[in-house]
């Protein structure tokens, strides 16, 4: 027994020495200059990304195998290769380091999941009557962007109230051009109906100016102007206009009351508060813009227990602003590593001064404490949910006699209407709940399927999914969201569907996966589901079983995602223009035809002479378009 322990310890020591020796070999060619380094294992996986003011000195420290914590010793022992990038300054190195960590998510770095960009409110400037709408993603459209908002819910609530306060249109240009009478939003006093000339361009421009002033922090001025106008209208006995202005003032007050904390000592800032317990942390981020609270969102960065909180928060902030511009003021709950360097890096990226402050008193301190309280409560909820999730997964393992609680469950469902716009859907769940970034939809491609043949659709979906998995996975393959193997597969259906699934998996050589069919009872009552597994009789769970509720949630989530994907597919098909099917009619000519005739229907009814009159449409193309619609009829 003692000999085995000694050999294991000796083997560990040998691994550390070998890793240190491999690292030391790079020292001969490294410059005494700033840069970024990557440590890579034998499989080509990035273990760690770091920056240094002096690459040679920093890497030399790793060549001492025993002068580190156990975590770093393990990392050194796994290192087979290093890659270096020299930079002009340590600030540039910090920016590059944050970008690489966020993109590569190395095992030994602090990292966090950041699946979505933050939404904004866009006030367009490319139309005579500007539209106000929610916008997410690249800011490529002409207009003024207000944000970020913490969530789509925060944007929707604000937009809803802004419509009541400023009566700006939210409809698309196509809807705007096609209106002949006001829509319902005008009737419920949420739009001024510029589409039907219920307001002229000058009056609408005044509403736009008021909305811009409100969203840039001049809400008090706007409210005072409206209040004066309301009193003047009342004195002139124009009580209808006075009532409309009163309702708009109330709507603005409603936005402010719903936002909670609205600071008076600063106009724009982001607040970061960290609460941690060992290796688990929550960073609560609050957004303040134009003197208003635009929501907050919790994040749960991944890190080792031994990494100091100052490094966790500093690394999180660096990655957070990798694709975003920092405001002029950032408030943090505690001291962070290299605060001055990080502020300088964010300043370079944002092209304005950025201050990172730790308020000690006053309103700013109260706001940070509020964020810290939220972080503490959110982490407690997360830990409770994780504990409950672990217990449920243990119950799933016991129910289906799995070797261990599943880390990845894939659930499949189909959706269609009599075979049209058929879509297969895959959702993923595990210890952290639903993994929405790994959901996938499959547009059913086979033209030989009988309409409504659910089993054939399931066969196609599973064959495509696991066929690709077999091709892309292997010992040397880097892990991606597509080549992860599930521990359990759930499908919607009974014995027939289960048999079809097993045949599909056998075709691609993935027949060792545990597949369970979830079938509703004949009465289709929830709680009376039968579970099917190959080679075993169907069985049911107790109607009050938490595992049953969990499995129902998984099935319902797959059903929801499948239906949503199908509806998008159907809407796309309904909205598709028949012009797209005509060869020679590209985007420019399509636009010209629609502008000339007003709609696709107008094009279909046009005479040959009318088609020839369209700019950019030759006689030959006009004949082609004319014949296309006549043959279709």
Angle between helices 219-235 and 201-215 (to 10 degrees): 140
Number of Cβ within 10 Å of residue 495's Cβ equals 13
Query: At residue 284, what are phi and psi to the nearest 5 degrees?
Result: -95, 125
Is residue 337 a contact partner of residue 311, using CB atoms and an 8 Å limit?
yes
Instruction: Name the residue with tokens 């690249």.
Output: 138
Return d(Cα 244, Cα 259) in angstroms, integer.
23
DSSP labels, 445-466: --SSSPTT-HHHHHHHHHHHHH
- DSSP secondary structure letter of residue 131: B
Return d(Cα 195, Cα 454) in angstroms, integer.
46
Return d(Cα 261, Cα 127) in angstroms, integer.
35
Give 496's pLDDT tier (boundaries 50, 70, 90). Answer: confident
Q: What is the pLDDT of residue 64?
A: 79
Are domains 409-573 and 578-632 of this chain identical in fold? no
Q: What is the pLDDT of residue 564?
A: 80
Whose CA is closest to 203, among 168, 246, 237, 236?
A: 168
Question: What pLDDT, in 10s, does the model give residues 367-407?
Answer: 999 999 999 999 998 888 888 899 999 999 999 999 999 99
CA dihedral in degrees (125, 131, 134, 139; nearest 10)?
Answer: -20
Q: Which fold has domain 269-381?
A: Nucleotidyltransferase; domain 5 (3.30.420)
Q: What is the pLDDT of residue 531?
A: 92
Return d(Cα 7, Cα 118) in angstroms, integer.
53
Which stretch of DSSP H or E encloses residue 101?
helix 90-104
Q: What is the pLDDT of residue 21?
A: 86
Return d(Cα 398, Cα 113) in angstroms, integer.
30
CA 209 to chain centre: 32
3-state secondary structure of 60: helix
Number of Cβ within 10 Å of residue 375's Cβ equals 24
Give strand pairing partners of 273: 284
Q: Which two tokens stand for residue 450?
A: 């009988």
Q: Where are the domains of the chain?
A: 2-104, 120-258, 269-381, 409-573, 578-632
Is residue 369 a contact partner of residue 332, using CB atoms and an 8 Å limit?
no
Instruction: Name the residue with tokens 């004195």.
Output: 235
- DSSP secondary structure letter of residue 581: G
Is residue 529 a contact partner of residue 518, using CB atoms and an 8 Å limit?
yes
Question: What pLDDT, in 10s, does the model give residues 401-445?
Answer: 999 999 999 999 887 655 566 788 899 999 888 888 889 988 877
Return d(Cα 31, Cα 45) in angstroms, integer.
25
Return d(Cα 273, Cα 299) in angstroms, integer.
10
pLDDT at 358 over 90: yes
Is residue 400 a contact partner of residue 488, using CB atoms and an 8 Å limit?
yes
Q: Which fold has domain 2-104?
A: GIY-YIG endonuclease (3.40.1440)
How many DSSP H helices and E strands does the chain contain?
A: 20, 18
Return d(Cα 458, Cα 440) in angstroms, integer.
14
CA 558 to chain centre: 18
Return d(Cα 332, Cα 364) in angstroms, integer.
10
pLDDT at 257 over 60: no
Number of Cβ within 10 Å of residue 514's Cβ equals 17
CA 276 to chain centre: 24
- Name the CATH superfamily housing domain 578-632: 5' to 3' exonuclease, C-terminal subdomain (1.10.150.20)
Least confident interval from 7-16, 132-141, 348-357:
7-16
Average pLDDT on 492-506 reads 89
Q: What is the mean pLDDT of the chain?
A: 84
- Name the CATH superfamily housing domain 409-573: UvrC, RNAse H endonuclease domain (3.30.420.340)
136 Rama class: left (phi>0) / alpha (psi -120 to 50) / beta: beta
Is residue 444 a contact partner of residue 453, using CB atoms and an 8 Å limit?
no
Number of Cβ within 10 Å of residue 446's Cβ equals 11
Residue 265 or residue 525, greater confidence = 265
Q: What is the pLDDT of residue 9?
A: 43
Return d(Cα 489, Cα 551) in angstroms, integer.
11
pLDDT at 2 over 70: no
Q: Is the pTM of this model over 0.75?
A: no
Is residue 296 a contact partner of residue 310, using CB atoms and an 8 Å limit?
no
Query: At residue 452, what are phi and psi to the nearest 5 degrees?
Result: 80, 10
Within 413-545, residue ranges assigned H as helices are: 454-472, 495-507
Q: What is the pLDDT of residue 594?
A: 77
Q: Are strands 46-52 and 35-40 parallel, antiparallel or unpaired?
A: antiparallel
Q: Which two tokens stand for residue 445?
A: 């491609």
Return d(Cα 163, Cα 183) in angstroms, integer.
14
pLDDT at 3 over 50: no
Question: What pLDDT, in 10s, does the model give residues 52-61?
Answer: 999 999 999 8
Angle between helices 55-62 and 2-24 (to 10 degrees): 170
29 Rama class: left (phi>0) / alpha (psi -120 to 50) / beta: alpha
Which stretch of DSSP H or E encloses residue 258?
helix 239-258
Question: What pLDDT, in 10s, does the model give residues 295-337?
Answer: 889 999 999 888 999 999 999 999 999 888 899 999 999 999 9
487 Rama class: left (phi>0) / alpha (psi -120 to 50) / beta: alpha
- DSSP secondary structure letter of residue 134: E
Query: At residue 388, what are phi and psi to the nearest 5 degrees?
Result: -65, -40
Give strand pairing partners of 136: none
Angle between helices 90-104 and 309-320 (to 10 degrees): 80
Q: Which two tokens stand for residue 63?
A: 């060549």
Number of Cβ within 10 Å of residue 205's Cβ equals 14
3-state secondary structure of 168: coil
């Amino acid at each position: 027994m003692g000999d085995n322990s000694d050999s294991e310890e000796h083997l560990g020591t040998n691994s550390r020495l070998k890793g240190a020796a491999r690292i030391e070999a790079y020292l001969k060619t490294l410059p005494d200059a700033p840069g970024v380094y990557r440590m890579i294992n034998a499989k080509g996986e990035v273990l760690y990304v770091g920056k240094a003011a002096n690459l040679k000195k920093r890497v030399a420290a790793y060549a001492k195998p025993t002068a580190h914590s156990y975590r770093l010793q393990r990392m050194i022992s796994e290192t087979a290769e290093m890659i270096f990038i020299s930079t002009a300054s340590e600030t540039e190195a910090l920016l590059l380091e944050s970008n690489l960590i966020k993109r590569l998510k190395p095992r030994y770095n602090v990292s966090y999941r950041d699946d979505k960009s933050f939404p904004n409110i866009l006030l367009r400037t490319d139309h005579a009557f500007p539209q106000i709408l929610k916008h997410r993603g690249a800011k490529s459209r002409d207009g003024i962007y207000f944000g970020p908002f913490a969530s789509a819910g925060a944007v929707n609530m604000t937009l809803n109230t802004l419509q009541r306060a400023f009566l700006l249109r939210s409809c698309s240009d196509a809807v705007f051009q096609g209106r002949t009478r006001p829509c319902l939003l005008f009737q419920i006093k949420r739009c001024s109906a510029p589409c039907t000339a219920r307001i002229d361009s000058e009056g609408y421009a005044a509403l736009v100016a008021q909305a811009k002033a409100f969203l840039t922090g001049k809400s008090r001025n706007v409210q005072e102007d409206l209040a004066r106008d309301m009193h003047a209208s009342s004195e002139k006995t124009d009580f209808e206009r006075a009532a409309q202005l009163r309702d708009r003032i109330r709507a603005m007050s409603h936005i402010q009351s719903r936002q909670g904390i609205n600071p008076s000592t600063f106009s724009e800032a982001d607040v970061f508060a960290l609460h941690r317990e060992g290796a688990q942390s929550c960073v609560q981020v609050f957004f303040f813009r134009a003197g208003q609270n635009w929501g907050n969102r919790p994040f749960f960065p991944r890190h080792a227990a031994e990494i100091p909180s100052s490094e966790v928060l500093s690394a999180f902030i660096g990655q957070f602003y990798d694709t975003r511009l920092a405001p002029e003021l950032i408030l943090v709950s505690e001291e962070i590593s290299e605060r001055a360097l990080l502020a300088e890096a964010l300043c370079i990226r944002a092209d304005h001064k950025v201050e990172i402050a730790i308020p000690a008193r006053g309103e700013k301190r109260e706001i940070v404490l509020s964020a810290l309280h939220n972080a503490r409560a959110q982490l407690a909820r997360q830990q409770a949910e994780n504990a409950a999730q672990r217990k449920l997964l243990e119950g799933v393992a016991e129910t289906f006699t799995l070797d261990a609680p599943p880390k990845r469950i894939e659930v499949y469902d189909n959706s269609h209407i009599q075979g049209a716009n058929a879509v297969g859907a895959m959702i993923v769940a595990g210890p952290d709940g639903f993994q929405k970034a790994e959901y996938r939809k499959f547009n059913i491609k086979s033209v030989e399927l009988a309409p409504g043949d659910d089993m054939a659709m399931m066969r196609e979906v599973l064959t495509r999914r696991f066929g690709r998995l077999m091709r892309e996975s292997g010992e040397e393959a880097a892990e991606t969201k597509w080549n992860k193997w599930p521990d359990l597969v759930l499908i919607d259906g009974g014995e027939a569907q289960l048999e079809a699934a097993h045949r599909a998996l056998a075709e691609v050589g993935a027949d060792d996966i545990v597949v369970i069919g979830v079938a509703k009872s004949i009465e289709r009552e929830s709680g009376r589901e039968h579970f099917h597994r190959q080679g075993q009789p169907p069985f049911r769970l107790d109607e009050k079983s938490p595992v049953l509720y969990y499995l129902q949630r998984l099935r319902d989530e797959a059903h929801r995602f499948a239906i949503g994907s199908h509806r998008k597919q159907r809407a796309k098909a309904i909205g598709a223009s028949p012009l797209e099917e005509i060869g020679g009619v590209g985007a420019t000519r399509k636009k010209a035809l629609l502008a000339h005739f007003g709609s696709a229907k107008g094009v279909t009814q046009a005479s040959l002479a009318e088609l020839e009159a369209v700019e950019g449409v030759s006689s030959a193309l006009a004949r082609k378009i004319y014949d296309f619609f006549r043959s279709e009829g």
